[in-house]
Amino acid sequence: TVRQVGKVLDLLNLYTDTMFSYPAVKVSRYFANLTYGYRFNYYGSWSFLGGFPYPMKTVNHGSEIPYIFYATNFSRPDDTGSLNTDNIAMKDQLVGLWTSFAKTGVPNTWTKVSNNTYYIIDNVTSTVNVSTFESQYYDFWAGVERSSAF
């Protein structure tokens, strides 16, 4: 039901915030002058959660990996003869970003976290550097950490 999906999504968000987003932002702030941050929000047909038992489109930790590296457990156009132009465009975009970073040490479109920005990749035509990412994940959990023993 919709209510069950909402509960599962709330639980996933809680887990993601506490186990990935908050710690990642915290470490990124510590190494801000050396760190380029990004968030991959693109949900394509090469997603890891294809077999997830709840009908929701969420992007999980590592979802960009099949777009950067060839993975045999995902259906690829060269395997099936089908063409998904959005997935191919996303693959080309991510390979270009990571190739630039590997060659030069500087990604061609990301800015450093010290500028309070993260590169958000929502889809093949929407990639922006935003400064609201940190406050969305960091501020609340930093307050919880300050007010508790953990």
Question: pLDDT tens digits, residue range 117-148?
Answer: 777 788 777 666 666 666 666 788 888 888 87
What pLDDT is stored for residue 58 in this prediction? 72
Give the Cβ contact number of residue 20 at 10 Å: 13
Domain ranges of the chain: 2-142
Q: Is pLDDT larger for residue 104 or for residue 80?
A: 104
What DSSP state is assigned to residue 112? Answer: B
* Residue 127, pLDDT score: 64
**What per-residue confidence (pLDDT) applies to 103?**
93
| E runs forming strands in 1-150 | 38-40, 118-123, 126-130
Amino acid 15: pLDDT: 84
Q: Distance of CA 90 to CAs 79, 86, 126, Å? A: 18, 6, 11
Q: Say if residue 4's pLDDT is above 70.
A: yes
> Does the pLDDT at position 41 exceed 70?
yes
At 102 the pLDDT is 92
pLDDT of residue 51: 60
* Residues 48 and 60 sit within 8 Å (Cβ to Cβ): yes
Q: Give Cβ neighbours of residue 4 (< 8 Å, ≥ 6 apart).
A: 54
pLDDT single digits (tens) 44-99: 777 666 566 666 677 777 888 888 886 656 555 555 545 678 888 888 888 988 89
**What are the counts of helices (DSSP H) followed by strands (DSSP E) for the chain?**
7, 3
Q: Cα dihedral sign for 141, 33, 122, 130?
A: positive
| Mean residue pLDDT across the chain | 77
